[in-house]
Structure formats: structure tokens, C-alpha cells
Chains A and B, each alone.
Chain A
Amino acid sequence: MEQPAPQSALEAPDLRANVLPTVSVVVLNYNGLRHLETCFDSLLSLDYPKERLELMLVDNGSSDGSLDFMREGFPTVRLVETGSNLGFAAGNNYGAERATGEYVALLNNDTRVEPDWLSELVRSLLADEERGVVCTSSLMLDWDGKTIDFYSGALNFHGFGFQPSYGLPVDAVEPQHRELLFACGGSMLIQRDVFLEVGGFDPDFFAFFEDVDLGWRLWILGHRITMTPTAITYHRHHGTASGVANHRWQVIYERNALYTLYKNYEQPNLDRILPAALLLLGQRVVRFMELGGVDFSDYDFTAPLHSSPSETPTLENVHRSAVATLLAADDFRANLHKMTPKREWLQANRKRTDEELFARFGQPGRVHLLNHETDAQYSSAHHSLLHEFGIEQLWDEVPKEVLLISPDVLPVGDIPASGSGIRAWALGRGLASRGHRVRYTMPKAALAGRERQVPSEYVRGAWTPETLQGMVDAMAPDVIVSCGWPNLTWLPRANVPVALDLTGPHLLERIYQEHLDAQANSAEKLAALERADFFTCISERQRYYFTAWLAQAGVHPDDIGSSLQVIPYSLDPDMPEHVWPEDWSSEEVRFVYGGIFLPWQNPAPALLAVASVLQEQGRGRLEVIGGKHPFHAVHTGGFGPLVDRLGTMSSVQMSGLLPHDELVKRYTHAHVAVDVMQPNAERELAFPSRTVHYMWCGLPVIHAAFSEVAEWIRDYEAGWVVPHDDPEALRQVVTSILADPQEARRRGENAARLAGERFTWDRTIEMLDRFVRDPYVRSERMRRETRQGSGVAQPDPSRNVTVATGTDGLYATSPEVARKIQLVHDRRRTLRAQVAARTMEVIRGVRGAVSAPLAGELELPELVIGHSIGQRFYSQQNGLSGVRVQVETFGRRNTSRLFLRLRHSPGATYDIYQIEIPSHNLRDGQVLTLRFPPVPDSAGRWFYFLAETPDGVPGDAISLRGVKNLEGLRAQRYDDGIPAPGYLIMSLEYNGSAR
């Protein structure tokens, strides 16, 4: 949607005073006395002709003396009083109705503007008016002009506007004059008669999203809106809205999103979207209730009863946002009759279809962020609704925001690229060729020391294991494409649809790299596969290989066929031109082998055979281009001795790894490529990128017969296929090429044809493009089970039933187990009652009762299944690297285990770090430490420490020690996620040492 406006807009129109229109600047004010001086000082400095300018202060019933101040300090400013607080929307309308200018500039009171702010807005609008532009937005920066406040306005499908560039450093974007879905209500210029004719801001909104609604409405009615980045406003953050609790604003915020979508969509789309919007609203309420401490697993019919019905506490703690959001839905319902006539008028006057406008939303499928982050449960509801209700189809022509995570260096800039980097690049470019907006990110470690050699955007956007999750959360892309599963191990909350490209088994590689713990490797791999929804692999053989893995990772066998697709290794459809000699008599036949040296590859017998033939015949040359992996610390296996031997042969020319462009140049000037490896499990499954790359450069390839690509080479006669264990056959091929090099050219041209027809990204991307166009989150139920227990996913009864023919005893629950379960339930009941009582104490305390001074020890109960003890604490320094707590064993030897977890907050559902501690060796009072790599930016942040047990039952459980008063640490203790009195005994470690 961010198209630059046509050239005309950039040409300055005639700005002679007599053709300039009259403009009224409307500044709405409600108790904003402290802002007025700065704001109006800047308005008085405007370079706009005074006689064509009306400055107005519309006062929304202030009681802070704003009006007196204005009368005294700014006598030339026209004062208009509304009499009471009409809200932002109606207050601005009130001003616009009373303004005298042909244009109205609406400006927040907590701003200041550049002197040419207004003349830039007017110039821009006048230039574009012929195209139907009636409104233009100012560029808003923060007060210091360092970061962007408003540059682009976007909207998700259920009515939540957002500002994609918000908070970015000013130099991160190159501001363009372009079209926008909506102008920022805080600083914009609009034709006054149009503003009034379309109804202005909707007064029922009061505040929030009225500018989104106005913008959308203007577009529907056939008008256009632009951004004028040369008109600059500085905005003081939270200057106006402060003073009222967030949950009160939230009622309006949530409601207005519903108003916006209700008024503006065409009927068939509204029918489809409104129920989805309402279901998502409910899912947000669920989340807010959880934040307060509701355990939804207790609402599951199949879960064991936490206590008997008569003893279950009847009240639950919910966060106020939950109530606010429900009230928003109810307010929407109660006021529907007010919205309906507005909707009917708008739809009757519609000039543009929803379909035309979806592209202007920016990212219609974006997940609404809760507290600035995504939540797994919420995200999966979001994506499943988009998919199941066919909503995503409404904008399937709108490009998607794709985040492509590369495991390796990408072929950008001046550095050597690897096969997996080129693979990632190809998928990204393939998607881009279908219109999607792809953002690439490669590992920061891969760029170490090479930052100057790649474009700065790649350096800025590079990922580290610590930052990847945050990057995804902040960007909220429509789809993630992860190249290789190891990336996903750093994404514990893969909350958006994830396509995972599996370019190789990646287990064998690990073993070759001496990550020898196969079991740990497999577990890690399965965990990563579970985080993806759609899979691509590189060859048919790998498809079979991965089928088994996907089944183990929980993909239903019926779905594997459709969710695992082959995308061959592919390259740019714009292929390089191969250079063939006109006359072979003066040309040496050049054989080539290129690529990174990897321990699971063994081309030695073949390369030695080729080199020796050339040596024997005294003609021809073998170029070996390669070296150690440029980024991963991978040893080179048998390559060392091979290089040594080849180095002694006169027919061989060695060179190190080359940047991609350089490598292509070498390949296009060579004549025959060699890729004959010794087989092993990895190689037999692989689809050698090396060979595709050769053919793409127009090189015919001598290839080993066992490989899948050998069939293509045979079919196209794109080279020669030889058995890997028949040196004689290879020698014959080399000899025949030396005798008739023209045959190499013929086969090379076939190779180029093969690459062009089968291995270019514009063609091979099809199946991935389909997923990206209508993406989905797989296995919602499976993910949910981690939270809700087994109750939601109902298995097919025919699979679950055992038709018993034998005795009852086979299935009976042993009395011992039953007793244990009962014990747990009893314990839970008392604990819950204690927790509830404590919570009430805390609430009462906060509400004004005086709490008694605390001293001495605090006895904490045994930590049993289903319960947690936690503490939120404040880190004063950077480099937080450990949390120490003290254990309470109740003076006995226990067998249960203990999980210690570090999270961002009590509401967080994932761990930053965790350890598991068996308790059988613990002594009473022993210090336990949860250690982790130092968190570099921990200073000034809160963290949450949590202890849980997977198997502790009363009588066999440990706990942590508490005190009533804790020195030297700002902290809040929690029981089961609910604030509780007292503290855990806790100290912190920084950069590996205790403080």
C-alpha cells in the first residue's frame, strides 16, 4: 500500500499569497494548560500568511484555567467553548463546524510544529487535489525529534489501527510522500466541507480510532489521503490521556474497534468478520482473566475436581481488563442502533469496494498485540478464525508480511555465501516474486567482523538467539519462514503461522559436527518441528524421510501429505550467461569443484581420479574452490589431507571461498563441474545445492549415480552420471571430455535448460506461496493441551476404546494411586483457601487498611503438583546471570523434582531459562541457583522467578524458604501466580558471581 504518490505531488504549486486557501487550525484542549504555551508559540511562528490563517482553541470544558491563560497570553487566538467534555471526536467536530477556513488543520494540544508545518500540508494537498486527495497527515515525531510517532497508519481486519513505524529511530525510514489509509487525528489537514459532509469524526467514539474510522470512511466515499512527511509535528508522549486508569480507556478502545468494523465493511464481509471479531474479543477476555489468576483447566469437565463442588470458592480473581473488554462488547451491543443509520448511509454512498481497500490496510491479518506482545493461545485462535471463516481469502491478493529467518549468511554484499544461505535467499526471493513483503534476518554471529561488507539493513535486522523471539513479537508478521529447524528452538512462542524449510536431515550433520547426543538432538528437533505448521523440503527422498519425523512431532498422518511439500533447491530465474570458447584448440578444458568443506562430504576419490587423468594426459585443469565454513565452526573432516594431496598435483589449481558473484564468474568460465561424493546417509538424502548451482551457471556436471538429482541429469543429458565406486568409469568420462570438449558445451546447455525449467525460484515457490497466501496455525489443540490438560481435544472414540474381554483388574486404579490423588486434591483445597485468604489480605491492605509490620520467618507450605511459588524481582544491574533461593525439605528426604524457571512476568507463559532439580539429595536450607548466560540489558527490569514441581505430593515435596522482610531486593512474592505477602529468600548473581 505504500506506493509513492505520482510525481505531480512533489512539484511545488504556486504559493503566492493570493492563491493560498484560508485555513483554520483547531487545537482541542481539555485541562491541558501546561501544553498550551509551547503549542501556540509554535503556531504563532508559522510561515503561513496571517490573514489567511485562523488559530482556534476549542476548549472541552477545562477547569484548569486554560481559557484565562489563553485570553491573557494569546489574545489573537479565537476561543471556542464546548461547555463540557465532548471527547476528542465531538470536540474537534465542534471546532470544525465553527471554523471559517476552507481547510481545517486539527492539532493536538501536546505538540509543537515546525514553522513550515502548515504551508507544507497545504502545498501537498493542493498539488494532489486533482487526484481526489482531501486530507493529508503530518509526520509526527517524538518531542526530541529522535523517534517516529506517526508515519504510517495501518489497520487489522477487526478494527484495531496501529502505527507500523512507531518508535523507530528517525533515520530508520526514508519518509515518502505517499497514500495512507488514515491520517493521524493529532495533526492533519482536511478540506473543511468534506470533513463536515462525511460527518467528521464519529462523536460516539469519544476518543480512540476516530481517525481510523474517518480515514476508512473517506476512502469508501471515493476520497484519498496522503502523508506529507515534510510537515513535521513534535508530540509529547501521553500528554493528554494520562490521569485516568487504563482499564477505563480500554472500554472505549475495544468498543471503538467494533464500531469501526461494524460501520465500514460491506454487508457480506461484515457478516463474516463480526463473529470472528467477537470470538477474538472473548479470547482476549480469557487472557485477561488468566492474568488475574484464573486457571481455565478447572473449567474442563474431564479434569479431576480441584475440590468438591460445595467447597469450590465461588469467586475468581480476574484482571480488570477482562471486565473492561466485556463492558466494551456490551456497550457496542447497546449502541448498535446508533451505529446502524451511520452504517446504512455510508454503505449507500459507497464508491470503493472492501476488496480495493484491503490492500491499504497494510497488514489486515496482523494479530492484535496484548500488552505489546503476542500470546500463543490468542494467536492460534486468531489464525484459526482467519482460516476457518475464510476471512484470509478476502485479501489473498494482498501481499503478506513475511519474516524469513536464515540460519546462515545470505548472498548479499561482499561475503561468501553458503548453500543454506542461498536456499533461504531463494525462498525469500521466490515469495517476493509473488508480491509478498519479505524481511530477511540472518544470524548476527555470521556477520561478526563483516558488518561493513553487507547493506546496513541486514546488520540492523540480524538475529541472535536472545533477540529472535522479541523480533517476532514486535513485528507480528503474517507468516514466518524458518530455514532449518534449529532456528525454531529460539522461538518458544511461534505464535504466527510458521513454514519450516527442511533442507536436510540436520541430525546427521550434527553428529558429524560431534554434537553426539543423538537423543537430545532428536528431542530438540521434534520440539522445533512441533512449532511449525507447514513444511517444505528439498527433494522427494527427504519427503519420505521427514514424513516419519512429522508424524512423531504430532502432525496427523492424514495431514502430512498436504503440509509437507517439495521445493527443489532453486536459484534466480535471471540466469548468468555461460561463456564457451569459440575454438577449443587454444583453450584448456577446465574442470571445477566448489563449495564449503564439510565433514559429511567426501569427494576425495573422485577429485583425485579427475586430477590424475588430467595429470597423465598432460592437459586440462581442475580448479578446486572452497574452504572452511565461513561462519559455523565446522571442522573440515577429510578435506585437510585431500587439499594437501591435491596441492601437490600440477593439474590442480586451489583457491579459497569466494563471494557469490566471484564464484559465479568462475563457474561461467569453467567447462565441466564435478560432484561425485562417496555415499553416506546424509548424502543419499541430500539434494546437492552444489550441482544445481553448477547447472544454473551453465556447467554440465559429472555426478554420482546414487543421488536423486542424477535422474534429472540423465533425463536432460545435463552431464554424466557415474557410479561413485567405479573410478574407471569416471576416468573414461574425463578422457572422453578431453577428446571432445564440444560435448561438454552441448551438455552444459542442457544443464542450463534443466536449471531454468526446474530449479528457478519463480517456478518452485508455488506451494509455499499458497501457504503464505492462506496461512494457518496447525495443531491448535495439541498446543492447547499443554495448558488445558487433556479435556479439549476429544479423541476419536473408536480409537480410544478398548473392548475389554478379560478381567476388570487390568484397568483398575490401584488403591495406592487413588490415595495419592486424593491427598493431592485435599492439599490443593487447603492451599487454595489459603491463597484466596492471602489475596484478600493483600487487596484489603492495598485498599487502605494498615498492615502490621513484618518480621522474621515466613513458613511456606509444601510445593505440590499444580501449584507454584514465585517472586517478581527487580534487577538493578546489567548482566543478571543467576537467582539463588533456599530450599526447605521439611527435614526429610524427598523424591519429587523441582523446576526453577525464569520468566519475564507472572503472566508470561514461557520460560527464559529453566532447570530441573531432583530433590533427593537436597539438605534443608541449601542454596539452589538458577544460572543462565548473563542478560546484558537486565538493569532496571523486572523478572519473575518461579518454582514448580511435576510430581510433588504432600509428604514427599519440598518448598522454598521465605521471610517476612527481605533486605536489598525489590520483590513481590506470588502463590499460584497471585500476589502473596512475604518474600522468598533470594539473592541475585551478576555476570556469573553472587552479589
Chain B
Amino acid sequence: MNGNSPTTTKDGASPERTVAIVIPTHNNLRLLRECLRSVRALDYPADRLETIVVDNGSIDGTFAAVHAPQEGVRCLRVERNTGFAPACNCGAAEASAEYVAFLNDDALADPQWLNELFSALDSGGEGAVCAASRIISRDGKQIEFNGASSNLFGVGRPRSVWGWPDAPTPPGHAGPLLFASGGAMLIHRRTFLDVGGFDPNFFAYFEDVDLGWRLWVLGYRVVYAPGAVVRHIGGATGTRQPAHRRYTLWECNSLATVLKNYEGGNMQRLLSGALLLLYKRALLASGDDFDPRDYSLAGPKDTNSLNIERLPRVSVAHLAAIDRFNSLLPAFMEERRRIQSARVRSDREILPMLGRLWEPQFAGEAYTEASGQLAAALDLYNITSPALPNRVLVLAGSGDGEAQEVAGALGEGFLVALASLQPGAPHSWSRERSYIRHTLAPDAAEVHALAQQADAVVVFPSALQIGLPSDLATPVALIGSADAGRLKVAVRLDRADLEALRLFCRRPVPTPIAG
């Protein structure tokens, strides 16, 4: 994008590039030692490597234990815990290498980690400045980061969607992605600093989503290096904080991601939507702790003359997030103005990178319903559809010719996956003219995953006979008059009414089935 762009060498390994490994830490000395051991064992020339531990106000003696210049480990001491983002920024600013690699203090890097990251950058195309690692659990059984996606409202997820016409192949392949996990990533240091680094006001959570998004907005690329493996031991700093504090940051930071990164016009409408949904979550999170009838003019008289309700802290946290967001607004807006004035890519180019635009942030039908209604009322689909059509999952028994026909027709205008259910069948998939056809068992995990990623599900009677996942929260259109079974939320459509079906798929607002 500018003179600061890295010089990409095409000849594979590039041992001449210098890297600073920056490890932010806070009272985690035991794991940090293990982490540092893995860094020492990296297959990378030691003279091209500097290791910087940023001690975020630890009181467990971290500084004295790891500050060892003769061994190439520098420890920067921040006097109080300013958070993950500022610590990373500070490490990057203090480093002198061409690249900086961020690594969590409770993560172990594979010896080939850096080489794999560089090779992904080198083959990542023009503007590739940042590479993401594959993060797995210590025993390798769980995958913690294997791709990236986000919903419209800045809630990032460490996995990609797949099985759809825009992304048919399962994850694990090199390629562009929305963001790299801040827990283990490589980035061109100058670029990182120039784009503003991690937003220090995020403190923790989602700062990596925001950075990745921003990099794309500013014309750079983020790529995935599946071979760059990092094992995450767990016990991260954040989990030591109570849930209500974490919620506060999650909610505030996702709002800030929306505020900073969308184009003018889109931002305001999406922010309104995000706020109304946030208030909905605050109410839903309070569960049954107050009686809504006490707030209705027609409700019965109550005796709570103190006018006090008892709400769960996780519910109050949503409002603490608003309080925080409002107070940081001038800072976020200053960032917004800076980013927008340097914008290279449009929202329309970036939205497909998000992958799962409508993924609900709160479990349950009430929320899904609310979010669908809101999207329709605020015309949010007008923002998203031109960039990334809604995902429609068609569920049918295998050999349902009508379902194939409908899937083909919906494939013009939507991203369609047809799940042909066949008990006991191993999962296979094929690319049809306008949709992806999956053949799989009704109880396969993939059915569940596809349904979760879908914005609308179309169910044929042939599928109902075989059986469906019980917790479909996605809006469902039920073809024909078959028994709705366990589906609580659906729209019934006539067999032949393709236009009505299209309308539903464009604005999937679920309505409860009567009775």
C-alpha cells in the first residue's frame, strides 16, 4: 500500500528477515518459562531473532526471572496491567526487527512456526503483511484457531465457514482470512505500528478481529498458515477475571469494531442494530429475575415499593459496556476518522470475509427472532445481500428431486447448501451448478454446523421423516404441510411457492408456529 510495505521475497525461506517475538504476560511465570523454552527451540537463526517479554504489572517476580539480556530475552516492565493490546503495542514499538510475532505466554510454538508463517506470507499475494497460526490444545485434540470469521456486529470466531458455494472446502488450507489470532501471529512491524497496532482501548478481547478487519480496510491482506502450529496450554489470564468483567469488554469491543471499521452510512445503521440487540441480550441475560408484568400498564399491582430489581451481573455488564463505550467514544471516533480517511477496500469487498454475517450472539429462539425482525426493519439486508447473499440450507431426504430443484433455483441469488440426509452415510460433498450438495447422516455434526452457519433453513417433508437436529435456532421454512415436529419456529410455505420462499430467504424472520 505504501513505502512501508514489506519486501516479499519469493524464494521460500528467507532467513535474512529479522523477527521480534513479543510475549505479553501477567503473573504467569510458570507457563511463561515453558513458552520461552519453545521459543529457544525455534528452527530460526538466533541472530535474526529478538525475544521481548512485556510484563504487564506482574507481582510474581516475572521480571527478575526472565530479564536476561545475555540470553537475548528482554523484559519490558509496564507498571500496571494496561491490558493485552497496549502490551503488544509496546513490545512492537520497542522491537527493532522487521517483523514482529506475538505469542501468548501460555502457548508453545512448534519449531517450524516462524518458517511456516513466512512461507504463508510469501505466497499470500500482494499486500499480505500478517499471517495466522494454527492453534491447538496441548494434546492436539482440540482446535482453537483454524480459520476466522465474524458476524456483522464484530463478534469474531476462530473458525471459518465451509461447505458453501463461496467456501466449499473444509478449513485447514492456506488462504486469506479475516484476522489472525492475537495469541500467535506474525506481522510486518512497521505496518503494524502504522495502522495503529492493537487498539489500546480494547484492553483485551477482539482486538485481533479489529486489527484484521482494519488491515483489510486499509488494503492489506491477512493469510492463514496452517502449518504454523502453536499449542495452547490454557489457563489464560482472562479466565481469572469474573464473567461480568469479561462481558463488559466483549460487548464494548464489538461495538467499537463496528464503529471504527464500517463505511459511513453502514456504520450508523449497523450500530443502531447492534445496540438494540445488545439491550435485548441484557434483558435475556436477566432471565426470570424480574416479572415483565410489573412493567405493563395492565399488569397486576405489585408490592415492591422500593422499586429495586435484582439483576444478574452478566446482564448489568451489557450496560457497563455502554458506559465504557460512551466514555471512550472520542478516542474510538478519532480512530474511525483516521481509518476511514485511508480506506482502500469497500465494505462490500470486506463483508464476504466475515463469512457468517447473521450468526446470533445469544442462544435461543427469542434472540434469533429479535435479530431477524430487526434486520428486516432496519433494512440491514440491503447492506449485506449485495456483498454476501444469505446462506440457505436445504434439508431433504436423499433422492428428493423436488428439493434438488428448489436448491438449484435458490442457488440463483443465495448461497445454497443442500443436505441430502441418508442414515449412516459418510459425509461427502459435490459442487452442483448453483449449490453445494452434501450427502450425510442426519445425526452428523456437519448438519448441525451447516444449520448454525445458515441464515435460513428450508425443510422438506422428506427430511422430517428422517429426523432433524433438535436445536435449530435458525429461521426455518417448512415446505408443505408436514408435521412441524420439534420445530418451534418456522414459516409454512406451499410446495410451489418459490417466490414466497425467496422472500423468506432474503429476510428470514421466524414466526412462532401457533399452538
Q: Which A residues have a C-beta under 8 Å from some C-beta of B?
A: 206, 244-245, 247-249, 251-252, 271-272, 274-275, 278-279, 281-283, 285-286, 289, 292-294, 296, 298-302, 305, 309, 312-324, 326-327, 329-330, 332-334, 336-337, 340, 377, 380-381, 384-385, 387-389, 780-781, 784, 788, 790-792, 794-798, 800-804, 807-808, 811-813, 818, 839, 842-843, 846-848, 979
Contact = CB atoms under 8 A, between A and B. Distances in A.
A942 to B, nearest CB: 16
B465 to A, nearest CB: 35
A293 B296 CA distance: 24
Contacts of A804: 63, 67, 75-77
Interface stretch (B135-143, B300-308, B386-394, B473-481): B300-308
B59 A329 contact: no
A803 B77 contact: yes
Contact of B310 (A312, A317, A381, A794): A317
Given A333-B370, A811-B79, A323 B323 contact: no
B97 interface: no
Interface in B58-86: 59, 61, 63-64, 67, 75-83, 86
8 contacts: A247-B295, A278-B276, A294-B316, A302-B82, A315-B313, A384-B329, A385-B326, A979-B306
Interface string B7-44: 00000000000000000000000000000000000000
> Chain B CB within 10 Å — which of A275, A320, A340, A784 has the most?
A275
Interface in B327-353: 327-331, 333
A317 B292 CA distance: 17
Nearest to B291: A323
A162 to B, nearest CB: 22
A282 B316 CA distance: 11
A613 B4 CA distance: 76
Interface residues of B, number: 87
A286 B323 contact: yes
A301 B245 contact: yes
Nearest to A294: B316
A260 to B, nearest CB: 16
Given A275-B268, A289-B316, A330-B280, A800 B82 contact: yes
Which 3 residue pairs of A and B lie closest in terms of their CB atoms, listed nearest first? A282-B322, A808-B64, A336-B377
Contacts of A380: 327
Given A301-B248, A333-B374, A800-B86, 13 more contacts: A278-B272, A282-B275, A282-B322, A298-B245, A318-B316, A384-B330, A780-B329, A794-B82, A794-B83, A801-B79, A803-B76, A804-B63, A811-B63
A647 to B, nearest CB: 60
Nearest to A303: B245
Contact of B373 (A275, A289, A337, A796): A337
B492 interface: no
A703 B61 CA distance: 68
Contact of A381 (B82, B86, B278, B327): B327
A247 B78 CA distance: 47
B503 to A, nearest CB: 15
Contacts of A795: 82
B61 to A, nearest CB: 6
B243 interface: yes
Contacts of B155: none
A784 B61 contact: no
A249 B298 CA distance: 11
A279 B316 contact: no
Contacts of B376: 337
Contacts of B59: 812-813, 818
A320 B308 contact: yes
A337 B319 CA distance: 26
A328 to B, nearest CB: 9
B312 interface: yes
Contacts of B323: 282-283, 286, 296, 299, 377, 788
B276 A332 contact: yes
A798 B93 contact: yes
Given A282-B326, A299-B320, A330-B279, A309 B297 contact: no
Given A272-B268, A794-B82, A804-B63, A248 B317 contact: no
A318 B54 CA distance: 39
B114 interface: no
A309 B278 CA distance: 24
Interface of B: 54, 59, 61, 63-64, 67, 75-83, 86-87, 89-90, 93-94, 200-201, 203-204, 240-246, 248-249, 265, 268-269, 271-272, 275-276, 278-280, 282-283, 286, 289-290, 292, 294-297, 299, 303-313, 316-317, 319-320, 322-331, 333, 370, 373-374, 376-378
Contacts of B329: 279, 381, 384-385, 388, 780
B275 A309 contact: no
Contacts of B280: 330, 333
A521 to B, nearest CB: 31
> Chain B CB within 10 Å — which of A300, A788, A790 has the most?
A300
B319 to A, nearest CB: 5
Contact of A302 (B203, B271, B272, B325): B203
B201 A794 contact: yes
Contact of A801 (B76, B269, B320, B333): B76
Contacts of A298: 244-245
Contacts of B312: 314-316
A316 B94 CA distance: 43
Contacts of A289: 311, 316, 319
A298 B241 CA distance: 11
Nearest to B197: A797
A316 B324 contact: no
B319 A282 contact: yes
B317 A299 contact: yes
B248 to A, nearest CB: 5
Contacts of A843: 304, 306, 308
A661 to B, nearest CB: 47
B244 A846 contact: no
Nearest to A243: B301
Nearest to A378: B326
A217 to B, nearest CB: 20
A342 to B, nearest CB: 12
A551 B201 CA distance: 23
> Chain A CB within 10 Å — which of B245, B326, B378 has the most?
B326
B283 A330 contact: yes
A319 B306 CA distance: 8
A495 B280 CA distance: 30
Contacts of A818: 59
Contacts of B322: 279, 282-283, 285-286
A333 to B, nearest CB: 4
B283 A326 contact: yes
Contacts of A327: 283, 292, 295
Nearest to A299: B320
Contacts of A794: 82-83, 86, 200-201, 203
A326 B280 CA distance: 8
A323 B80 contact: no
A337 B509 CA distance: 12
Contact of B327 (A292, A334, A780, A842): A780
A274 to B, nearest CB: 5
Contacts of A247: 294-295, 307
Contacts of A848: 303
Given A784-B327, A797-B200, A315 B307 contact: no
Contact of B268 (A271, A282, A323, A330): A271
A653 B88 CA distance: 77
A301 B246 CA distance: 7
> Chain A CB within 10 Å — which of B204, B242, B278 has the most?
B242
Given A327-B283, A332-B276, A781 B327 contact: yes
A278 B276 CA distance: 8
Nearest to B74: A803
Contacts of A323: 286, 290, 295, 309, 311
B311 A316 contact: yes
